[in-house]
Amino acid sequence: MDNRIYLPLLAVSALTTYLIRALPFTLFRKKITNRYIKAFFYYIPYSVLSAMTFPAILYSTESLISAAAGAVTAIALAYKGKNLLIVAIGTCAASFLVSLIELLLR
């Protein structure tokens, strides 16, 4: 990637992320008590990950079919409560197998 695009974006990303961590930790001493703000903080990681994963996961491999195979596997394994690594490996394996079959049939 062209460094003229990459470097400014990297700097902004790193600086923003650092300030979010550093400012409250160094300056803030009071406790947040507002239930609505607390709830917002509680839900935001899940809503971010959800919006980031679907539908983007379906376009993360060579074909919609292999990606869908990975997505279905991810949901099935995660639903069974498997840990992160197992789910990730299963997701990769499923989409890899389907990609391989597609490659052989082509």
CA 19/CA 36 separation, integer angstroms: 23
1 Cα distance to chain centroid: 22
Residues 73, 87: Cα–Cα separation, whole Å: 8
From the CB of 78, what's the least distance to another protein, in Å? Answer: 4
- C-alpha span between 58 and 54 (Å, rounded): 7
Tokens linked to 27 = 């300056």
